[in-house]
Amino acid sequence: MERVGAARDLVLGYVRALNAIDEAMRVAIPSLERLADVLGLARSRRISRSGHIGTYSYTVHGAGCRFISGNGTEVDVDFEADGSEVFDLWRLRWYGLSLPDPLDVTDDDLRSAVRSLQPLLAEVRPGWFSVAS
């Protein structure tokens, strides 16, 4: 149970980090309505596919973006067609491993943690989660 608690803290930390990134990006790019708009800005070449915005470095990839904070913490997120932010267990594990005090948790513990956080989190398709609106 202690491992699931650590995994739950990791998931909540990821969600907080994602919210902080969203806020920082909106301050740095006032025209940004939602974080997913970073994809459109990169695709239209109004921003580079990788670079620095505010206190974060970023790299746009496929359907998402990886953000790295000043302390090296990585938050990788994909975006649905409607602009909602989605993530899977791999992204959660990678976030945990990038923390200043790395936290390595199993997929089973993460799965249990995510389930324990419903209805805060919703499974939008098998293995992919979003913060419920």
Tell me the per-residue pLDDT of 63-115, one tens digit each, with 9 for 90 and over: 999 999 999 999 999 999 999 999 999 999 999 999 999 999 999 999 999 99
Mean pLDDT of 35-51: 93
**1 has pLDDT over 70:** no
pTM of the model: 0.93
pLDDT value of residue 3: 77
**9 has pLDDT over 80:** yes
| CA–CA gap between residue 51 and residue 36 (Å, rounded) | 16
pLDDT value of residue 39: 93
Q: Which residues of 107-121 are buried (b: 16+ CB within 10 A; e: fewer)?
A: eebbbbbbeebeeeb
